Amino acid sequence: MRQIAQELGVSRTTVSMSLKNDPRISPETCKRVQEHAKKRGYTPDPKVARLMSYLQCQRNTKASETIGYLTPFSSRDEWWKITTFREFYQGANERAEELGYRLDTFSMAAEGATEQNINRTLFNRGIRGLIIAPGFVPHAQLELDWPKYASVSIGFSFDKPETHRVSCNHYASAGLALRKLQAYGYKRIGFFLKPDNDERTRKLWQSAYLVYRNSIPKKHQIPEFIGELDEAAFSSWFLKHKPDALLGDRLKGADILENVGLQQPSDFGFALLDAENYPDCAGIAQNAKQVGECATNQLAGALMRNEFGLPEHPQLLMINGGWKDGQTLREIGSSDLSK
């Protein structure tokens, strides 16, 4: 490092900070130092890197750095009652505490909250790292002074700008649910989804269903119902195509069918793509706490490496969900299939 400093005519501190992309050093200087170091064959010692990481963690434990947890709601009460959203936060918060950070929430839709005000608040609080939490509205955008922050998004609600991202693996989860329904003996599985939820998951739930549908005999194939759950339209779709089981995103689908005299699981099986809010319902547990934990891990790593600003090559980490059985399914025998 001393030799690199002498050859470039800068201090060893400048070289050290440039190699770590310290934001106090200009991007031009960082690039010049890094390119020269690469030519000289310099590579960081992983043992030293682990030691420095440990020392940084110890410093953070004594004087916790704050991470901002940005939510697209007007108050905490709006999202705290949603199990998946609450567990995203709990996982992120618990991991932050383990790493010596403090997690503070910021409501981006609160009265008087503008992007300019949020930027000012984050700057005044000395916040360098952001976790961007999901909401209900797809294709949301957020304009902040991104070069000042390391950032990770949870889910796909905010798709501009592109940050690093951690998400439930919606495609794999839907595929798992369909295989479980088949294992129960269901053959004509119908699929329903709200358009906003289809967009918020980048159509990954629907994609898994389409792959499944194309893999089964034509006589069992049912067109998906993508739309708002209007009682007349949904019950008409069900009675026309006669699925023996449903996989969808809302409990309201089962409620509508019960209103026309159909009962689960005797008349149809029912499973949810996100069943964590409903203890008695079969479906997918999205492992939301693990998603939150991974978001904090990703962000802590970026802060340690001084990786600020929007990434040139955004990374996507997807966490598989798990299956949970419930009272809304039953084993289908040969006598049932002959009806």
CA angle at 109 for the pair 123 and 284, rounded to the nearest 5°: 105
Q: Which domain holds residue 264?
A: 170-286+324-337
Residues 147 and 78 in one domain: yes
> What pLDDT does 261 receive?
95
Residues 72 and 33 in one domain: no
Q: Which mean pLDDT values do the consecutive 10-residue runs of the chain (339 residues) have? A: 73 72 72 80 60 53 80 94 94 96 94 88 95 95 94 95 96 98 97 96 98 97 96 96 97 95 96 93 96 98 94 96 96 61
Residues 279 and 191 in one domain: yes
Residues 251 and 113 in one domain: no
Q: Which residues, including other chains, have CB under 8 Å from residue 92's CB and lie 6 or more apart?
A: 69, 103, 131, 154, 292, 293, 295, 296
- Distance, first Cα to last Cα, the chain: 78
Examine residue 51 and state whether it is found in any structural domain, yes or no.
Answer: no
Residues 181 and 230 in one domain: yes
Examine residue 56 and state whether it is found in any structural domain, yes or no.
Answer: no
Q: What span, in angstroms and rounded, lies between the C-alpha atoms of 213 and 333? A: 21
> What pLDDT does 46 receive?
55
Residues 270 and 192 in one domain: yes
Q: What span, in angstroms and rounded, lies between the C-alpha atoms of 63 and 75? A: 28
Examine residue 54 and state whether it is found in any structural domain, yes or no.
Answer: no
Instruction: Check if the beta carbon of residue 36 is closer than 8 Å to that of residue 9.
Output: no
Examine residue 146 and state whether it is found in any structural domain, yes or no.
Answer: yes
Residues 204 and 282 in one domain: yes
Residues 181 and 271 in one domain: yes
Examine residue 52 and state whether it is found in any structural domain, yes or no.
Answer: no
Instruction: Check if the beta carbon of residue 186 is closer than 8 Å to that of residue 168.
Output: no
Residue 112 C-beta-side C-alpha neighbours within 13 Å: 2
Q: What span, in angstroms and rounded, lies between the C-alpha atoms of 11 and 8? A: 9
Instruction: Check if the beta carbon of residue 77 is closer than 8 Å to that of residue 141.
Output: no
Nearest CA to 16 out of 64, 54, 48, 61 is that of 48
Nearest CA to 192 out of 249, 236, 107 is that of 249
Count of beta carbons in the 10 Å neighbourhood of residue 145 = 14
Beta strand 269-272 with 245-248 is parallel
Examine residue 234 and state whether it is found in any structural domain, yes or no.
Answer: yes
- Taking CA atoms, 314 is separated from 102, 138, 148, 183, 311, in Å, by 25, 19, 17, 37, 5
Residues 294 and 257 in one domain: no
Instruction: Retrieve residue 90's tokens.
Output: 């709990």
- 128, burial (CB in 10 Å: exposed 0-12, middle 13-18, buried 19+): buried
Residues 90 and 158 in one domain: yes
Q: Which residues, including other chains, have CB under 8 Å from residue 236's CB and lie 6 or more apart?
A: none
Examine residue 57 and state whether it is found in any structural domain, yes or no.
Answer: no
Residues 206 and 331 in one domain: yes
Q: What span, in angstroms and rounded, lies between the C-alpha atoms of 220 and 187? A: 6
CATH number at residue 163: 3.40.50.2300
- In terms of DSSP H, where are the helices of 76-145? 76-80, 83-98, 115-124
Q: How many residues does the chain have?
A: 339
Examine residue 34 and state whether it is found in any structural domain, yes or no.
Answer: yes
Structural domains counted in the chain: 3
Instruction: Retrieve residue 322's tokens.
Output: 């798990």
Residues 308 and 222 in one domain: no
Residue 145 C-beta-side C-alpha neighbours within 13 Å: 12
